[in-house]
A and B are shown apart, each in its own frame.
Chain A
Amino acid sequence: MLITALISGFGLGSIYGLIALGFTLTFSVSGTVNFAQGSSVMLGAVLCHALYIGLHWPFVLAALIALIGCALWGLVVERIAVRPFVARGSNAWLMATVALGMVLDNSVMALFGKEPRALPSSLADEPWVIGNAGVFPLQIVIPIVALGVASLVHLGMRRTSLGLRLRAAVGNADAARLMSIDVTRLIAWTFAAAALLAGIGGILVAPLFNVAYDMGTLFGIKAFAVAILGGLTNPWGVVVAGLAYGLVEAFATTWLGSSSTQIVTFAVVIAALALAPSGIFRGKTLARV
């Protein structure tokens, strides 16, 4: 039971972490988030399905185009549902991002249909057997990809000029502007990156689950809980919180039964936040660059 719970927890937890990383990126730079991050999860999976199954494109190409689509969607979200409200000093972007996500979900419902569809993968067909437990190769691939992407984000932030500019904007946006850094454009890029990360999560999880217009809702909610738990501004904290969340979920189901899963998991989230209101892995809000 332990092995099964660990495999299940790590797999789902790394997806939550990946999606939550998107919240961290945008919040760190702009103090805003895309509350419809779950819709970006769905968009990645649906676009990939449409191109790979519908148009019979090679999987890699379909996934790549789907991710570009997600990034463009992130730009649209920032331009329509965030920037105009932030410019007026309003917090209405909270509602605007939720609303835009609903527009996307319902548009996809009209175009893609309401029936869930399968995204078959050879990595999710024949399991590897470990003791009396089994695992699809994809379940091993998911944490590797998720941690790899998180590392890339970390390295990108530390070792590239874009990362340097981003960190400058995080540290002091006004000072960054004085240094000719286009903070507005940087914020837009972070929304694109956040949607792209969510899209990766959607494409990774689709062969284990299914593809549907409403598949992202629950992922989005859980990922936001993970982001809060991880400290919102701490990328590695968020990834670790994602894994922890997935493990708590899996162990709660394994040992207490599925009717206890959500009760236990969210009770743990509340308890953790009561003990550490800024998140377990509270990130630094200022950085010298």
Chain B
Amino acid sequence: MSDLTRRTILSLPLGGLAVSALGTRFASAAEPVKIGLVAALSGASAKSGEGITRGLSVAIDEINNRGGVLGGRMLELVRRDDESNPGKGQTAARELIDKEGCAILFGGIDSPVSLAIVPLANSAKVPFMGVWAAATNITRNNANPNYVFRVSAVDVLVDKALIKYATSRFGSKSPGLILVNNAWGDSNFSGLTAAAEAAGIKLAGSEKFEDKDVDMTPQLQRLRNAGADCLILVGNAAPGAQVIKSLQRSAWSVPIVSHWGISGGRFPELAGSWAGKVHFVQTYSFFGQQSDIGKKVLAALMAKYPDIKGPGDVAPPVGVANAYDAMQLTALAIQKAGSTDGSAMREGFLGIDDYKGLIKNYVKPFTDANHDALNENDYVMVRYNGEQIEPVTG
């Protein structure tokens, strides 16, 4: 002890701090980058959450196998179940940001849940990536700066595509709308009304239904009496199936075009024998000629998940494909940012020049004016064949 000078004593804590800082830097280099997912992992839309999980997991495995991000940091997926409930989704998002320290949050199928998370992400300056929920105002939310990005459909564009499909495929001149009674249904009501006007056709009418409605025949009968020659459905799997069962019960054989919410659950089981009549939108199909990336992703899915034996088992494809591309774009954004700081990552997303992805080759996917990486040219129309989702042909 007698050898200790004041300088030595003073240097001890400083030295300790230096060692500690080195240790922190070392730990930081090895520390995983947490990727948060708030989605429906249970309930009627559980399949959507599973699809997103699979898409993210395959992309994360790929990124980690090539060395992770930021010089060796592995990506780690942290999931929370929002049970399709906006309040629970917001609580889960807060926990993932504050307690888990996630660098980015991914969202699920439910627009109301995503809309509840948007203000939280913007105020916390943590990027929020939508990979399914399509409400227009999720990304177009008037925040500045806006931390919300999306690799998914956008209602306002899907609505144009649905009206176009109804008119071109079925010769519809007077489609009727049957929409879920929530923010997502409202978003599509505006979009479909505008799209119909732009296409020069008049809507026969618009009806709403609740998630727990047992019988939608009165709503359908109103549309039928109003002269609807095609139905455009917006709803998730379970209530969407009730619409189809009510339609079947009414013995009304009318073409049905649907938004993609029905692909997020057990729609074919719940809807029964009329499930295959519904033509609906997706952003990707694993059927047909696949790109090299398509082949690689399908092979990885088949290797990782024993229940996937072919393209028809990738259900729902939209969740898998959107999540895969969104995760790859996120890795690019982190690399561009050079850190997991939210503001830097936001700039990283805006700085991505191009990425050869599963759904398409992205060129400047995000700009200040556009936080949606996909547009109406990226949609494909599909239908159920048994449990499998296949492209509509012929």
Q: A258 and B218 in contact (CB under 8 A), knowing A115-B266, A127-B249, A136-B249?
A: yes
Interface residue B224 (Cβ < 8 Å from any Cβ of A)? yes
A120 contacts partner chain B, Cβ-Cβ < 8 Å: yes
Whether A118 pairs with B218 at a CB distance below 8 angstroms is: no
Do the beta carbons of B273 and A115 come within 8 Å of each other?
A: no
A54 to chain B, nearest CB (A): 14
Q: State which of A58-66, A148-156, A204-212, A278-286 sits at the interface with chain B.
A: A204-212
**Is B252 located at the chain interface by the 8 A CB criterion?**
yes
Nearest CB in chain B to that of A217: its residue: B212
B42: which A residues are within 8 A, CB to CB?
Answer: 113-115
Contacts of A127 in B (CB 8 A): 248-251
Q: Does A116 contact B (CB under 8 A)?
A: yes
Q: Does A117 contact B (CB under 8 A)?
A: yes
B residues near A259, Cβ cutoff 8 Å: 181, 208
List which B201-244 residues lie within 8 A (CB) of chain A. 207-210, 212-219, 221-222, 224-225, 238, 241-242
Contact, CB under 8 Å: B214 / A208: yes
A125 touches B218 (CB 8 A): no
Instruction: Please determine whether A133 and B269 come into contact, CB atoms closer than 8 angstroms.
Output: no
Assess whether A254 is in contact with B224, with CB atoms less than 8 Å apart. Answer: no
Is B108 among interface residues, defined by CB-CB distance under 8 A? no
Interface of A is mostly: mixed
On chain B, the residues within 8 Å of A125 by CB distance are 248, 272-273
Q: Could you tell me if B212 and A8 are in contact, using CB atoms closer than 8 angstroms?
A: no
How far apart sit A209 and B215, CA to CA, in the bound complex (Å)?
8
Given contacts A129-B251, A139-B249, contact A4 B208 (CB under 8 A): no
**Once the chains bind, are A116 and B238 in contact (CB under 8 Å)?**
yes
Q: B265's contact among A115, A133, A136, A209, by CB below 8 Å, is which?
A: A115
Cβ of A221 to closest chain B Cβ, rounded Å:
11
Type the 1/0 row for A1-20, where 1 means its CB is closer than 8 Å to any CB of B: 10011011001100000000
Whole-angstrom distance from the CB of A142 to the nearest CB of chain B? 11
A212 to B225, CA, bound (A): 33
B77 at the interface (CB under 8 A from A): no
Cα–Cα, bound, A61→B215 (Å):
28
Are A5 and B272 in touch, CB under 8 angstroms?
no
CA distance A205 to B212 in the complex (A): 13
Shortest CB-to-CB span from B230 to chain A, Å, is 17
B217 in contact with A120 (CB, 8 Å): no
Instruction: Indicate if A89 sits at the interface (CB-CB under 8 A).
Output: no
The reply on B160 being an interface residue by CB < 8 A is no
B238 touches A133 (CB 8 A): no
Known A115-B44, A129-B251; contact A258-B181, beta-carbon cutoff 8 A: yes
With A115-B43, A115-B266 known to touch, is A257 a contact of B222 (CB < 8 Å)? yes
Q: Which residue of A lies closest to B206 (CB)?
A: A257
Partner of A258, one of B213, B225, B245: B213
A139 to B44, CA, bound (A): 25
B207 pairs with A258, CB closer than 8 A: yes
Q: Given the interface contacts A134-B250, A139-B249, A209-B242, does A116 sit within 8 Å of B273 by beta carbon?
A: no
CB of A127, distance to nearest CB on chain B (Å):
5
Of B208, B214, B216, B248, the contact of A257 (CB 8 Å cutoff) = B208
Judge whether B218 and A210 touch: CB under 8 Å: no
The distance from the CB of B156 to the nearest CB of chain A, in whole angstroms, is: 23
Q: How far is the CA of A132 from the CA of B46 in the complex (A)?
A: 37
Most buried by A among B83, B212, B217, B251: B217
Q: What string of 1s and 0s marks CB contacts (under 8 Å) between B342-374 and chain A?
A: 000000000000000000000000000000000
Instruction: Give complex CA distance A233, B216 in Å.
Output: 32
Contact B215 A1 (CB under 8 A): no
Q: Is the CB of B242 within 8 A of A250?
A: no
User: Could you tell me the distance between the alpha carbons of A125 and B275 in the complex, rounded to whole angstroms?
Assistant: 12
Contact of A117 with B221 at beta-carbon distance under 8 Å, contacts A125-B273, A136-B249, A258-B181 already known: no
Q: Is there contact, CB below 8 Å, between A208 and B210?
A: no
The complex places the Cα of A208 from the Cα of B250 at a distance, in Å, of 13
Q: State A208–B241 Cα separation when bound (angstroms).
A: 10
Complex Cα distance A136/B249, Å? 6
Known: A209-B242, A257-B207, A258-B210. A118 touches B272 (CB 8 A): yes
Closest 9 CB pairs of A and B: A134-B251, A114-B42, A253-B218, A254-B218, A4-B221, A114-B43, A127-B251, A129-B251, A209-B214
23 residue pairs of the A-B complex, CB under 8 angstroms, read A1-B218, A4-B250, A5-B218, A8-B218, A11-B215, A114-B83, A115-B42, A115-B44, A115-B46, A117-B266, A118-B269, A120-B272, A125-B273, A133-B217, A134-B250, A134-B251, A136-B249, A205-B214, A208-B214, A208-B215, A210-B238, A210-B270, A259-B208
Excluding A1-B221, A7-B217, A116-B44, 12 further A-B contacts by CB distance (< 8 Å) are: A1-B222, A1-B225, A4-B217, A114-B43, A115-B42, A115-B47, A134-B249, A139-B249, A253-B218, A253-B219, A254-B222, A258-B207
